[in-house]
Amino acid sequence: MNAGARLGLYAAGVAVAFAGAFGVASAAVPQSVVDDWNARAAAEDHGTTEEHGSTEEDTMTQAVPAGLSLSSGGYELSPVTAPVTVGESGELSFQILDADGEPLRDFTASHEKDLHLIAVRSDGALFEHVHPELDHETGTWSTPWQWQEGGSYRVYADFVTGADDAKVTLTRTVEVHGEYKPMHSMGEQTTDEVDGFDVSIDGQLVAGATSDLTITVTRDGQPVTELEPYLGAFGHLVALRSGDLAYLHVHAMGEDPEPGDTTGPEVMFAAEAPTAGQYLLYLDFQVDGQVHTAQFTLDAVHGDGTSGATHDDAESSDH
């Protein structure tokens, strides 16, 4: 695939940058706009406005990736209750709190579920993606839980609110006592073998742009054409930035499948990498009613095509 051509399609109008954007923006825009931003920021601090508006504001909103904070948009993830030791079986539970500190009970289904729970160890190993149950009386979400290995885990709650359809990703860290086997893989990993399936990922992540990624599934050297819908799509891809484990937006491309449809061996996704550097990707796909998870590691290059490995992202100049 030609990264340059894709970039040409997507680069215009896409928010680039991270820390660098703030300095550039405040120097390049009229003072009145800056004053407006400041006024809105102050108002939001007091919870008095939820105005949605300008392109500039959207750009700044996009500049910080999701999944880095326990609170966002007035919603907060309560402390997570879970087993503290490897092998102890129990329950993982939590609440989503609204701006008044009350448990949220009203959600909008997204990808067929009211809430998606992701857990992954800080080194990217031991990814889990499950769907807890909501107790509507208490507003408590829970799911049976057992940790396989010790370490520090990031837990993400990914949901859409019922009242205002806000898309929110909140996260907390959970420490687990027990044996720790570090994951050694460094560098790009574009193939994985899981449950007898060989899964590969093809495409180039580009910082600040939407990048097409193609997944191919084979078994015993033969293309797998019986990929089934899972959560309303032919596969569910989660991407995390290595280092801070920021949570990326990844969308399956093409029409949503109907129940009973199958596809394969290729599935296309569009991913937005906020910066250059390394990303961990996890694909859930379904064959014969069984869900399998393949894991990959990809490097995102700067928008000018240079490697992100040794550069300071804030110096990226592709605005």
Least distance from Cu ion to the Cβ atom of residue 219, Å = 24
Instruction: CB nearer to Cu ion: give 116 or 241.
Output: 116
Report CA-CA distances (Å) from 101 to 91, 97, 185: 23, 5, 41
Residue 152 contacts residue 173 (beta carbons within 8 Å):
yes
Residue type, 190: T
Instruction: CB nearer to Cu ion: give 18 or 153.
Output: 153
Instruction: CB nearer to Cu ion: give 128 or 198.
Output: 128
Q: What is the DSSP letter of 314?
A: G
- Cα torsion angle, 295, 267, 290, 230, sign: positive
Q: What is the DSSP letter of 103?
A: B
d(CA 33, CA 188): 42
Those residues with Cβ within 8 angstroms of residue 210's Cβ, 6 or more apart along the chain or in another chain: 10, 14, 270, 271, 272
Least distance from Cu ion to the Cβ atom of residue 231, Å = 6
Instruction: Single out the residue of 213, 191, 239, 222 nearest to residue 287, CA to CA.
Output: 222
> Of all residues in this chain, which one has the CB nearest to Cu ion in the complex?
116
Least distance from Cu ion to the Cβ atom of residue 131, Å = 5
Task: List 213's β-bridge partners, or say none.
Answer: 269
Burial, 155: exposed, middle or buried (Cβ in 10 Å; 0-12, 13-18, 19+)?
buried
CA 36 to chain centre: 30
Instruction: CB nearer to Cu ion: give 127 or 147.
Output: 127
Least distance from Cu ion to the Cβ atom of residue 270, Å = 18
Q: Which value, in Å, is the radius of gyration of the alpha carbons in the chain?
A: 20
On the CB side of 204, how many CA atoms lie within 13 Å of its CA? Answer: 17
Least distance from Cu ion to the Cβ atom of residue 119, Å = 12
Instruction: CB nearer to Cu ion: give 116 or 302.
Output: 116
d(CA 256, CA 234): 8
Instruction: CB nearer to Cu ion: give 167 or 311.
Output: 167
Least distance from Cu ion to the Cβ atom of residue 136, Å = 20
Which spans of this chain sit near Cu ion (rule: CB under 5 A)?
116
Least distance from Cu ion to the Cβ atom of residue 34, Å = 39
Instruction: CB nearer to Cu ion: give 6 or 116.
Output: 116
Least distance from Cu ion to the Cβ atom of residue 155, Å = 13
Q: How many residues does the chain have?
A: 319
Instruction: CB nearer to Cu ion: give 178 or 232.
Output: 232
